[in-house]
Amino acid sequence: MPRLPWWGGAALAVALLGIAAWTFRARGADAGSAAALWPPLHVLIVLTGSLASPLLPLAAGWITVFGRHARRLTAPAAVLVALVVLAGDWLDDGLPAWTMVAGWLLLAAVAAGLTLASTREPRRARTTPPAPPAEPAHPAGQGEVAEAEVLLSALHMVLRATDADEAALWRADAGAQPPTAACVARLALEGTPPGEASVPLAGHPFNWAIEEKLPQRLERGRRTLPSPWAEEMLLLPVDAPDGVLALAYPGPVPPGADVAAVHAGRHLSALLGLLRARGALERAEAGMRALAQAVRTLPGEVELDGFARQLAAAVRQGTGAGGAAVALVTDDLGRGKLLHASGEPQPLGAESFGEADSRLALAVKHGVELSWPDLRREGDRLPLLAPGERWSEAPRSAAVLPLLVDGRAIGVVAAWHVEPGAFGEREMDILRRLCSVAPMPMRSARRMEALDQRASTDPLTGLPNRSVFDARLAGIIGVFDRYSRPFSVVALDVDHFKRVNDTYGHETGDRVLRHVAELIRQTVREVDLPARIGGEEFVVLLPETPLRQAAEAAERLRCVLETRPLVVNGSPLPVTASLGVAACPDTPNPADVLAAADAALYRAKDGGRNRVETA
């Protein structure tokens, strides 16, 4: 350069300045742009006197700018090379030419390496989603997986645009006790320590960003940062709703990163708005499909249990509810029982409800729909479905709608979710439509069940009748014929029943039969089938029971009847019975087992009554 004319050096400096300006315009403020600024500055310093140049303080400014963008190790190396080259220019006459060439080549290598490092992709990022609960509430659907992928892709772009080491999206839950913020998605450079999954909002910087709706810049001080390893952080409010985009840096926030972060926050808000719009559209389509399916299938369901399962499934599909329940109103006082409950969280111990003793019962009593955006904020502690219910995770939002026929509730539907505010106007509209379709099919299924109940149940005692017993006996005989599994029949006849009718009247006789039926129901096993086959005669079918064990069961039943008299007008009325027992394979022909039990019963009556005889 000392051999160039002044205009040649000036042209060289202008050309190099043009290259630096083009680099800065294409890349922005980063290490590559800072490296491209050194060659024209070096030429100007050399042309104006090397180390005696009045432009030398610009080199100190360049070192400051370059050090803020370059890596921790390459910045000192580049500065050292620059000083070596300047020293070589100053001692131009005392150094051989090859040292000057080597110095320039070394400076060019450092600049090229920095440029390549800054244009290379960021270090491999890793996702660190918040820690899942010990037992997931329900598996994520395809829509939730797609939304998570979109969020991670957006955070990857935010990470690159803001030159942060960690980008995380947090969402506040002001209704929690205490209020908390949970990490929805997190993306961090490899080697970055993982953060917490949730933090309390009280006094937390997240709360400031949410309440003020303004970006926040945090520096390490006496207060711990949301990312404890960070030196500085940027917090930006995001329309999630009540969301915060948190950017963490191991050192000072790079120049221009705060402006890029504001744009990134706006972009993320717009993206989340689009995701919510897409989710709303998908839920609307699911609601229409659920409604169409309910219109097609519910009228054809003749069993109450099947009707309840289909309606609960339609409610969950149509509204996106975590769980749903269908209950039947059993009397005019508003009492009822749960027919079916499904979803997560699953209620346990909820079987029946009384008059206004739950939120479900309140909707039945007043015949109105009820909804709660956040159950934790409700002052009362009424159970949602029925007294004694237990939840693995208490629902936050719920809606209850009665099924009305002629202004009277015959049933009720409940839906719930673990998130607050899950039932907006769209979800309530789907629920109303489903509950306008369901009452008539429910009434039809209820009538069919009542008809079936009358056809298969003894109206006086509530026990199965003769036709049910015969059908079950035929099935047991078929199993015996194929697998030779033992079974027994106990025949029971109330002693002196005609004398009870003649002495106390037929109403008392009916009470005696109901009393005997209830004691039989309480004494036999769940697998046994008690039935009334006529008059004062009862039978009990005992599958997988040989003769000796059946005789022991008959003796227990006889003792229960003998020791628990019926109270009539304040006085005990003794009730006893004679019992006959027969079993297969002790009876050679299975079809004769009932007749054999009857024969043993008559021997017991002839032997003095209140006793057990075996065939």
Q: How do residues 351-364 score in pLDDT, each as one tens digit?
A: 889 888 899 999 99
Strands (E) in 452-588, as ranges, are 487-494, 529-534, 537-543, 566-568, 571-573, 577-584
User: Is it the case that residue 55 has pLDDT exceeding 60?
Assistant: yes
CA distance 397 to 366: 20
What is the percent of the chain where pLDDT is above 70? 84
The whole-number pLDDT of residue 537 equals 95
User: Is it the case that residue 73 has pLDDT exceeding 60?
Assistant: no
Burial group, residue 81, by CB count within 10 angstroms (0-12, 13-18, 19+): buried
Instruction: Name the residue among 294, 290, 317, 288 with its Cα closest to residue 307.
Output: 294
The whole-number pLDDT of residue 91 equals 58
The whole-number pLDDT of residue 536 equals 92
Instruction: Name the residue among 292, 157, 173, 331 with its Cα closest to residue 240.
Output: 173
The whole-number pLDDT of residue 598 equals 95
Specify the pairing of strand 612-614 against strand 577-584: parallel
Whole-prediction pTM: 0.50
**Which residues does residue 578 pair with via DSSP β-bridges, in sequence order?**
493
Do 57 and 69 touch, CB atoms closer than 8 A? no
User: Is it the case that residue 471 has pLDDT exceeding 80?
Assistant: yes
What is the percent of the chain where pLDDT is above 90? 29
User: Is it the case that residue 281 has pLDDT exceeding 80?
Assistant: no
Query: Higher confidence at residue 319 or residue 452?
Result: 319
Lowest mean pLDDT among 103-117, 123-137, 404-418: 123-137
Average pLDDT, the chain: 82
How crowded is the C-beta side of 422, counted as CA atoms within 13 Å? 21
pLDDT band of residue 133 (cuts 50, 70, 90) is: very low
Query: Higher confidence at residue 564 or residue 28?
Result: 564
User: Is it the case that residue 582 has pLDDT exceeding 50?
Assistant: yes
- Domains of the chain listed by start with CATH number: 6-119 (no CATH), 144-278 (3.30.450.40), 301-451 (3.30.450.40), 457-614 (3.30.70.270)
User: Is it the case that residue 173 has pLDDT exceeding 70?
Assistant: yes
* Across 159-182, average pLDDT: 82
User: Is it the case that residue 81 has pLDDT exceeding 80?
Assistant: no
User: Is it the case that residue 82 has pLDDT exceeding 70?
Assistant: no
The whole-number pLDDT of residue 128 equals 47
The whole-number pLDDT of residue 522 equals 93
The whole-number pLDDT of residue 87 equals 66
* DSSP assignment string, 316-376: HHHH--SEEEEEEE-STTS-EEEEEEEESSPPBS--EE-TTSSHHHHHHHHT--EEES-GG
User: Is it the case that residue 136 has pLDDT exceeding 50?
Assistant: no
Query: Higher confidence at residue 398 or residue 294?
Result: 398
User: Is it the case that residue 85 has pLDDT exceeding 80?
Assistant: no
Q: Which residue has the tokens 């339609």?
A: 314
Helices (H) and strands (E) in the chain, counts: 17, 20
Query: Higher confidence at residue 299 or residue 502?
Result: 502
The whole-number pLDDT of residue 523 equals 94
Query: Higher confidence at residue 5 or residue 94?
Result: 5
User: Is it the case that residue 584 has pLDDT exceeding 90?
Assistant: yes
CA distance 273 to 240: 8
* Across 528-546, average pLDDT: 94
The whole-number pLDDT of residue 488 equals 96
Query: Higher confidence at residue 471 or residue 117?
Result: 471
